[in-house]
Structure 1
Amino acid sequence: MKKSLIALAVLGALASAASAQTSTTIYGLVDAGIVNERGGPAGTVTKLTSGVQNGSRLGFKGNEDLGGGLSAKFLLEAGFNVDTGTSGQGGTLFGRQAYVGLGGNWGNLLFGRQYTPLHTALDQVDPFGTGLAGNIENLIPGGTGPTGVRMNNTLKYTTPEWSGFAGELAYGFGEVAGNNRANRQWGAAVGYVNGPAVVKLVHHRTENATGTDDARNSMIGGKWDFGVAAAHIAFQRDQGFGTVDNRDYMVGVSAPVGPGKVLASYIRRDDRSALNADAHQWALGYTHAVSKRTNFYTSYARITNKNGAAFTVGNATEAGTGDKAFNVGVRHLF
């Protein structure tokens, strides 16, 4: 009897230890707003939209301590449209992110569908956080290819932080038989984040479907928080497929006002090709926190297109239909 009790006690202790070494978190975000778009070829449209400031999502992430400073980790994040109840990202189950990997004091090595280092950097330096009507990616791309700001079939390494410095390297397999270049992507970033300062230097490259041409994006950007306000700046050279060649500029500001924050930015896209299809965007927004998890938001942006350029004012999840857009809504995190 005593042996049985001892055995049960040992098993219970082992189970508790295993539980303590493993953690799984369920999290999410629900965002819905009213969007009014003007200037599109089909005319003005007013709609209820999901994911205006940030894409609505349900996620699962976990970490298991394997001992010796090594851990296993995973993340599965599904996007959804709260206005219709449908799946986001074209119906892909875990279309926002899906990866598994290993981590330690040497960094993280992750396998799966992940954000491009370029999109992550733009999200950090954009006053609008790549959302709302002022989204920087209305004019400055955060990635190219079929998956846009995300890369499929990706092996990504992120370094540990050293005195504010960190880097990441991502390689997306093209998976075309007999042609390793076709549809291949890779990106690299190095950054400095310390106190009020954020500086990012990034390069992204995508091969076309035959591996005979590539699109390249190189960006340097930063943010400096002065307390009363923060200054934001970014410059990107966008060399797309064929003769596409652009210089993209962004300057912005974000300033706390009571429980909220005022956001503003100006973006210019300078087309250096023979078309000279330039564009620029002005944007103004405001977010108002009513708790640690819930905020209201509103924003307005306008794009001026020249010489046949056809850029539209979108938000975190939609490309938009016109050259002007206004939105107001609510976001809740859980």
Structure 2
Amino acid sequence: MNRSVLVLATTGVLGALSGNAHAQTSLTLYGIVDAGVVYERGAAAGNVTKLTGGTQSGSRLGFKGIEDLGGGLSAKFALEAGFNEDTGTLGQGGRLFGRQAWAGLGGRWGDLTFGRQHTPHFLLLDQVDPFGTGLAGASTNLMATVTRTDNTIKYSSPAWSGLSGELAYGLGEVPGDTTANRQLGASIGYAGGPLVLKVAHQRVENAIGTDSTRNTLVGGRFDFGMAAASLGVGLNRGTGAAESRDYMLGVTVPVGAGALLASWIRKDDRSAFNADADQWAVGYTYALSRRTNLYTSFARINNDPGAAYTVGNASEAGTGNRAFNFGIRHKF
């Protein structure tokens, strides 16, 4: 992410206070402010036009810190608050640091972090989606995922010749039952040069620790230079007989100072309802600078009988089966 950085680096004084002359601490302030106009059509309650915060990317204010502990070991943390600049309210249901809140240790062996964190499954979907799980073409309109989990212990490995992986365990914190409400996630794959190819899995136990939701995603992206192609296949199992398949094809084409985005997503519902749906989406982003860009996008969902999927964006679920949006995003 391009951002302006506020860094506080201390050496001598902190070293004397900590007893480590080589200790160094840095603090980074960063964020995104995103505002767009959204036209939603096809809702049962009627069409709506609104100003929305976080259309391409959820608006946020974040703090990251790292301290060198010596011997290749470091302490680190992240606190990230989501907000809606159209109303000035907090996002994520009013949580103070609803996007991220974790602390941990890092080294040559990887990172071990504790707190509210993104799931490996969502991180892969965001990586291969041409729309980055934002704008009207967000893959999350149809593709099942769990964005982030509370009470999570996560291990992220370093990359070895492009290969890396993650393991995540979210504690359910139910007295007398270690399986109730817990979540488990993992991913493994390759990212190097023009190629990204990974598989990720997320399992969510219910309140009594029996039935669960299981989502598996195989995702890939290859940059040919003149264009980048994306592919995603999701396998989903819910409680009871609920089952579905997700398929995504996407392309990103650099055009001048911007990029043309397009994707097709198919929801194949394999339950008794057979409530299938397709989404077609196109968009364009134009860079005014390294930190600021304009955007526009349109998406339409064709729902089969029994399906009621809506076109949302990075911060909203949407109300209708069609949406058009345009706006501006600034990173700092």
What's the counterpart of residue 63 of structure 1? Answer: 66
Whole-angstrom distance in 2 between the partners of 1:263 and 1:270: 23
CA RMSD of aligned residues (A): 1.5
Answer yes or no: is 1:260 the counterpart of 2:266. Answer: no
Give a deviation string over 1:41-65, Cα, whole Å, max 9, x none.
Answer: 1110000000000000000000000
Give a deviation string over 1:99-131, Cα, whole Å, max 9, x none.
Answer: 000000000000000001000000000000000
Whole-angstrom distance in 2 between the partners of 1:251 and 1:116: 22
What's the counterpart of residue 137 of structure 1? Answer: 140
Task: Describe how 1:103-252 pairs up with structure 2 within 5 A.
Answer: 103-143=106-146, 149-252=147-250
Against the structure 1 CA distance between its residues 18 and 242, is the aligned structure 2 distance closer, same or farther, given a 3 Å change threshold? farther
Name the aligned partner's letter for residue 119 of structure 2: T
TM-aligned CA deviation for residue 21 of structure 1: 1.0
Against the structure 1 CA distance between its residues 96 and 11, is the aligned structure 2 distance closer, same or farther, given a 3 Å change threshold? closer
Whole-angstrom distance in 2 between the partners of 1:95 and 1:14: 36
Question: 262, 267, 270: which one pairs with 2:268?
Answer: 270
Secondary structure at 2:106 match in 1:
strand
Against the structure 1 CA distance between its residues 158 and 48, is the aligned structure 2 distance closer, same or farther, given a 3 Å change threshold? same
What's the counterpart of residue 333 of structure 1? Answer: 331
TM-aligned CA deviation for residue 66 of structure 1: 0.6
TM-aligned CA deviation for residue 287 of structure 1: 0.3
Contiguous gaps of at least 5 residues in structure 1: 1-9, 144-148
Whole-angstrom distance in 1 between the partners of 2:219 and 2:21: 43
**Stretches (4+) displaced over 3 A:** 10-20
TM-aligned CA deviation for residue 18 of structure 1: 6.2
Percent identity of equivalent pairs: 64
Question: 86, 90, 101: which one pairs with 1:87?
Answer: 90
Name the aligned partner's letter for residue 200 of structure 1: K
What's the counterpart of residue 24 of structure 1? Answer: 27
What's the counterpart of residue 47 of structure 1? Answer: 50
What's the counterpart of residue 7 of structure 1? Answer: none
What's the counterpart of residue 297 of structure 2? Answer: 299
Secondary structure at 1:123 match in 2:
helix
Give a deviation string over 1:161-186, Cα, whole Å, max 9, x none.
Answer: 10111000000000011111111100
Name the aligned partner's letter for residue 327 of structure 1: N
What's the counterpart of residue 104 of structure 2? Answer: 101
Question: 285, 288, 307: which one pairs with 2:286?
Answer: 288
TM-aligned CA deviation for residue 12 of structure 1: 9.0
Whole-angstrom distance in 2 between the partners of 1:113 and 1:282: 33
Whole-angstrom distance in 2 between the partners of 1:106 and 1:315: 36
Whole-angstrom distance in 2 between the partners of 1:295 and 1:19: 40
Between structure 1 and structure 2, the one with the greater Rg is 1
Contiguous gaps of at least 5 residues in structure 2: 1-11
Give a deviation string over 1:265-302, Cα, whole Å, max 9, x none.
Answer: 00001011111000010000000000000000000000
Question: Is the contact between residue 61 and residue 80 of structure 2 (CA under 8 Å) also seen in structure 1?
Answer: yes
TM-aligned CA deviation for residue 142 of structure 1: 1.8
Whole-angstrom distance in 1 between the partners of 2:17 and 2:182: 44
Name the aligned partner's letter for residue 171 of structure 1: Y
Against the structure 1 CA distance between its residues 47 and 185, is the aligned structure 2 distance closer, same or farther, given a 3 Å change threshold? same
Secondary structure at 1:132 match in 2:
coil
Whole-angstrom distance in 2 between the partners of 1:12 and 1:201: 43
TM-score scaled to structure 1, two decimals? Answer: 0.93
Secondary structure at 2:140 match in 1:
helix
Name the aligned partner's letter for residue 128 of structure 2: V
Give a deviation string over 1:292-333, Cα, whole Å, max 9, x none.
Answer: 000000000000111211100000010000000000000000
Question: Is the contact between residue 22 and residue 70 of structure 2 (CA under 8 Å) also seen in structure 1?
Answer: no
Give a deviation string over 1:4-29, Cα, whole Å, max 9, x none.
Answer: xxxxxx86984798697110000110
Against the structure 1 CA distance between its residues 96 and 19, is the aligned structure 2 distance closer, same or farther, given a 3 Å change threshold? farther
Secondary structure at 2:279 match in 1:
strand
Aligned residues: 320
Whole-angstrom distance in 1 between the partners of 2:264 and 2:175: 44
Secondary structure at 1:163 match in 2:
coil
Against the structure 1 CA distance between its residues 327 and 180, is the aligned structure 2 distance closer, same or farther, given a 3 Å change threshold? same
Against the structure 1 CA distance between its residues 13 and 273, is the aligned structure 2 distance closer, same or farther, given a 3 Å change threshold? closer
Whole-angstrom distance in 2 between the partners of 1:13 and 1:57: 32
What's the counterpart of residue 4 of structure 1? Answer: none
